Copies of this chain bind each other. A is one copy, B any other.
Amino acid sequence: MSRSNPRVLSTLERAGGFASAQEVYKLMQREGEKIGLTTVYRSLQSLLSDRIVDVLRRDDGEAIYRLCGSTHHHHLVCKGCGDTVEIEGGAIEKWARTMAEEFGYRDVGHTAEIFGLCPKC
Protein backbone atom coordinates (compact mmCIF):
# COMPACT_ATOMS: atom_id res chain seq x y z
CA MET A 1 0.00 0.00 0.00
CA SER A 2 0.95 3.60 -0.23
CA ARG A 3 -0.25 6.59 1.71
CA SER A 4 0.24 10.23 0.98
CA ASN A 5 3.14 12.05 2.54
CA PRO A 6 1.53 14.85 4.60
CA ARG A 7 4.25 17.31 3.71
CA VAL A 8 3.17 17.12 0.09
CA LEU A 9 -0.36 18.12 0.96
CA SER A 10 0.87 20.90 3.18
CA THR A 11 3.07 22.24 0.41
CA LEU A 12 0.22 22.14 -2.06
CA GLU A 13 -1.89 24.10 0.40
CA ARG A 14 0.82 26.66 0.81
CA ALA A 15 1.18 27.00 -2.96
CA GLY A 16 -2.24 28.60 -3.11
CA GLY A 17 -3.84 27.66 -6.39
CA PHE A 18 -2.64 25.05 -8.82
CA ALA A 19 0.72 23.38 -8.79
CA SER A 20 2.27 20.61 -10.83
CA ALA A 21 4.17 17.70 -9.33
CA GLN A 22 7.41 19.21 -10.54
CA GLU A 23 6.56 22.53 -8.95
CA VAL A 24 5.62 20.99 -5.63
CA TYR A 25 8.90 19.12 -5.70
CA LYS A 26 10.98 22.21 -6.47
CA LEU A 27 9.15 24.20 -3.85
CA MET A 28 9.91 21.59 -1.21
CA GLN A 29 13.53 21.49 -2.25
CA ARG A 30 13.84 25.24 -2.00
CA GLU A 31 12.40 25.08 1.49
CA GLY A 32 14.92 22.50 2.55
CA GLU A 33 12.55 19.53 2.75
CA LYS A 34 14.20 16.22 1.99
CA ILE A 35 11.91 14.34 -0.34
CA GLY A 36 12.19 12.46 -3.60
CA LEU A 37 10.38 13.30 -6.79
CA THR A 38 8.91 9.81 -6.84
CA THR A 39 7.28 10.35 -3.47
CA VAL A 40 5.76 13.61 -4.62
CA TYR A 41 4.19 11.87 -7.61
CA ARG A 42 2.99 9.00 -5.47
CA SER A 43 1.49 11.29 -2.87
CA LEU A 44 -0.37 13.33 -5.44
CA GLN A 45 -1.77 10.16 -6.99
CA SER A 46 -2.92 9.03 -3.62
CA LEU A 47 -4.49 12.38 -2.74
CA LEU A 48 -6.20 12.21 -6.08
CA SER A 49 -7.75 8.82 -5.56
CA ASP A 50 -8.84 9.89 -2.10
CA ARG A 51 -10.60 12.83 -3.73
CA ILE A 52 -8.59 15.29 -1.67
CA VAL A 53 -7.18 17.01 -4.71
CA ASP A 54 -8.37 17.59 -8.26
CA VAL A 55 -6.26 17.36 -11.35
CA LEU A 56 -6.31 19.53 -14.45
CA ARG A 57 -4.03 19.88 -17.43
CA ARG A 58 -2.06 22.86 -18.52
CA ASP A 59 -1.93 23.74 -22.18
CA ASP A 60 1.34 21.89 -22.54
CA GLY A 61 -0.17 18.77 -20.97
CA GLU A 62 1.48 18.99 -17.58
CA ALA A 63 -0.84 17.85 -14.80
CA ILE A 64 -1.67 20.42 -12.17
CA TYR A 65 -3.28 19.72 -8.82
CA ARG A 66 -5.29 21.75 -6.37
CA LEU A 67 -7.22 21.09 -3.23
CA CYS A 68 -10.81 20.12 -3.84
CA GLY A 69 -13.50 22.12 -2.23
CA SER A 70 -11.26 24.98 -1.32
CA THR A 71 -12.75 28.00 -2.97
CA HIS A 72 -10.96 28.58 -6.14
CA HIS A 73 -10.48 31.50 -8.39
CA HIS A 74 -9.61 32.06 -12.00
CA HIS A 75 -6.92 34.07 -13.67
CA LEU A 76 -6.64 37.01 -15.96
CA VAL A 77 -3.25 36.62 -17.58
CA CYS A 78 -1.34 39.14 -19.66
CA LYS A 79 0.02 37.72 -22.91
CA GLY A 80 2.66 40.43 -22.93
CA CYS A 81 4.30 40.50 -19.53
CA GLY A 82 2.76 37.46 -17.88
CA ASP A 83 1.22 39.50 -15.10
CA THR A 84 -1.72 37.75 -13.47
CA VAL A 85 -4.80 38.93 -11.65
CA GLU A 86 -6.91 36.60 -9.57
CA ILE A 87 -10.55 37.11 -10.35
CA GLU A 88 -13.86 35.98 -9.05
CA GLY A 89 -15.68 33.34 -11.03
CA GLY A 90 -19.16 33.06 -9.63
CA ALA A 91 -20.70 33.30 -13.05
CA ILE A 92 -18.57 30.41 -14.24
CA GLU A 93 -19.49 28.16 -11.36
CA LYS A 94 -23.11 28.69 -12.16
CA TRP A 95 -22.63 28.17 -15.86
CA ALA A 96 -20.74 24.93 -15.24
CA ARG A 97 -23.41 23.63 -12.91
CA THR A 98 -26.21 24.55 -15.28
CA MET A 99 -24.61 22.93 -18.28
CA ALA A 100 -23.65 19.80 -16.38
CA GLU A 101 -27.18 19.41 -15.13
CA GLU A 102 -28.65 19.92 -18.57
CA PHE A 103 -26.67 16.97 -19.92
CA GLY A 104 -26.87 14.82 -16.82
CA TYR A 105 -23.21 15.06 -15.91
CA ARG A 106 -22.19 14.56 -12.28
CA ASP A 107 -19.14 15.30 -10.21
CA VAL A 108 -18.12 18.23 -12.34
CA GLY A 109 -15.19 20.57 -12.28
CA HIS A 110 -14.11 23.20 -14.75
CA THR A 111 -11.26 25.29 -16.02
CA ALA A 112 -11.44 28.88 -17.17
CA GLU A 113 -8.80 31.46 -17.88
CA ILE A 114 -8.88 34.79 -19.61
CA PHE A 115 -5.85 36.19 -21.36
CA GLY A 116 -5.19 39.45 -23.10
CA LEU A 117 -2.97 42.51 -22.88
CA CYS A 118 -2.74 44.39 -19.62
CA PRO A 119 -2.90 48.20 -19.50
CA LYS A 120 0.90 48.48 -19.44
CA CYS A 121 1.50 46.31 -22.47
Residues of A within 8 A of B (CB): 57, 61-63, 76, 78-79, 85, 87, 89, 91-92, 94-96, 99-100, 103-119
**Chain B residues with CB under 8 A of A87:** 99, 103
CB–CB B114/A110 < 8 A? yes
Residues in B with CB closer than 8 Å to A114 are 96, 99-100, 105, 108-110
Evaluate contact between B100 and A91: CB separation under 8 angstroms: no
Identify the closest chain B residue to A119 (Cβ): B104
- Closest beta carbon of chain B to A88's beta carbon, Å: 8
Q: Which of B63, B109, B118 contacts A61 (CB 8 A)?
A: B63
Bound-state CA distance A105–B113 (Å) is 13
Q: Check A92/B112 contact, CB under 8 A, given A61-B63, A76-B103.
A: yes
